[in-house]
Amino acid sequence: MPSLKDTIISSMVNGPDVLLDRMVGTRNGRDYAADRFKTRDIINKIHPQKLHLKVLEITNETSIAKTIRLISTNGYLPVFQAGQYINIFLEIDGIRTSRPYSISSSPKRSEEHTSELQKIPTGFVSDYFLDKVKVGDIFEANGPAGVFHYNPIFHKKKSVFLAGGSGITPFMSMTKEILESGADREIHLIYGSRDEDVTIFHNELANLAKNNSNFKYHLVLSEPNNKDCKCKTGFIDDKCIKELIGNVDEYTFYLCGPQIMTDFCMKGLNTLNVPHNHIRREVFGSRQDIQNEEGWPKEFTGNEIFKITVNDKVINAKASESILIALERANIRVNVCCRSGECSLCRIKLVGGKVFMPRGVALRLTDTKFGYIHSCKAYPISDIEIRL
Ligand code: FES
């Protein structure tokens, strides 16, 4: 691949030729309108607006987690980067909703996506997936999307993956990609789990570590049920990280797991003075306990019910639930993908009233100026009026 310097020099040297070629092309009647449609075709292929995925196989990973293998009904799946997710739509009890699921397969396996599903408290969608989904079912989805992936320009060659529960999923894809490609990179995976029985991919990870000297697998169990287990016990705090990897300055850190675990790891990294630009954090969906989010107005318990006026309809919404969930409950459709405030597909206009939005929502300057919010990460704290 040419270096950035070579690319700049080449565009300076060849730029006039490219312009001349374009002028000649225009003079001779080149059909740019037709080219534009070709471009649209290519974009649709690389980044289709909708995918239709069929469940090919379901594997029990642990008592509370399954892997589902998905193929496209038209035989084509768009490329993705290790660490990205797909957003799967489904209808439960007449309510259409969706959830983003990280892809665990390697990007080199372009014919299928695999994803891990784990039971979580109050996770009515994950329960549905685990209990009801069967081979042959077809789902609508969008993506792949997400920015939780390795960036060779900004990230260090040495990586520390901090995973908890089903947060192992994107790391599985990243690890496979690096090891399969023989890339000159070093990985430490520190995986926090309750006990060995609920540790997803434990044997596969242990085998990968045995066969690849640049991949180190550290399992940290909070409640080990096997007294002979040689794993570390406790939680992934600053001492644990320091002991396992040594000098933190050499690494980029990637965090994925339940919010409570990533909050805890962030504290550890802050204690170790890891700069924020050396930390990448993935959080899926709205957090269950928004009342514990920094900046939440303490006068609200989260149980308050407010009215949302949307176009000519009025619906009820609970303060602790995102506006997106309230809209979905009322069967009002909004575009959606990440459910984490990142992709901006769920933007709506706040015409009146107040909402709470946690830090980290990727609003554009124009959104703020003209009153747009991301419905997946906005919580009503008064009666509000919105426009879709
Ligand atoms: S769905 Fe992506 S920002 Fe809301």
Sheet arrangement for strand 251-256:
232-233, 215-221, 186-193, 158-164, 251-256, 279-282
Three-state SS for 231? Answer: coil
Q: Ligand 1 in contact with 283 (CB < 6 A)?
A: no
- Which ligand 1 atom sits closest to the C-alpha of 335? 1
Q: What is the pTM of this model?
A: 0.83
Strand order in the sheet with 65-72: 95-102, 85-92, 138-145, 51-62, 65-72, 113-118
By CB neighbour count within 10 A (0-12 exposed, 13-18 middle, 19+ buried), where does 20 fall? exposed
Say if residue 144 is preceded by a cis peptide, omega within 30 of 0.
yes
- Ligand 1 centroid, distance to 379 Cα (angstroms): 14
Angle of helix 202-211 versus helix 168-181 axis, rounded to 10:
30
Distance 22 CA to ligand 1 centre (A): 39
SS3 68: strand
Q: Confirm if 125 and 99 have CB atoms less than 8 A apart.
A: yes
Distances (CA, A) of 70 to 49, 131, 134, 238: 17, 17, 11, 38
What residue ranges do the domains of the chain occupy? Answer: 51-145, 158-282, 305-387
CA distance 218 to 206: 9
Q: Indicate the CATH number of 51-145 among 3.90.190.20, 2.40.30.10, 3.90.550.10, 3.20.20.140.
A: 2.40.30.10
Reduced to 3 states (helix: H, G, I; strand: E, B; else coil), residue 129 is helix
| DSSP class of 25 | H
3-state helix vs strand vs coil in the chain, percent to 5: 30, 30, 40
Q: What's the confidence (pLDDT) of residue 260? A: 85
Give the residue, out of 283, 340, 355, with the most ligand 1 atoms within 8 A of its beta carbon, to mutate for a pocket test.
340
**Helices (H), ranges, 99-185:** 124-132, 168-181
Fold of 158-282: Rossmann fold (3.40.50)
pLDDT at 374: 96
Q: Which atom of ligand 1 is nearest to the CA of 376?
A: 4
Residue 348 CB–ligand 1 contact under 6 Å: no
Q: Measured on CA atoms in the order 365, 367, 370, 371, is the torsion positive or negative? A: negative
Fold of 305-387: Ubiquitin-like (UB roll) (3.10.20)
pLDDT in tens, the chain (388 residues): 556 666 566 666 666 655 655 555 555 555 556 666 677 777 777 778 899 999 999 988 888 888 899 999 988 888 899 999 999 998 888 889 998 989 999 988 766 677 666 655 455 677 787 888 899 999 999 989 999 999 888 899 999 999 998 899 999 999 999 999 998 999 999 999 999 889 999 999 999 999 999 999 999 999 988 877 788 999 999 999 999 999 999 999 999 998 889 989 999 999 999 999 999 998 655 667 888 888 999 999 999 999 999 988 999 999 999 999 999 999 999 999 999 898 999 999 999 999 999 988 888 888 989 999 999 999 999 999 999 9
Interval between CA 374 and ligand 1 midpoint (Å): 6
Candidate of 88, 282, 339 to mutate for ligand 1, largest count of ligand atoms within 8 Å of Cβ: 339
Provide the pLDDT for residue 130: 81
Q: How many angstroms is it from 337 CA to the middle of ligand 1? A: 6
- Please report where in the chains the tokens 């990727």 appear, as a residue: 362
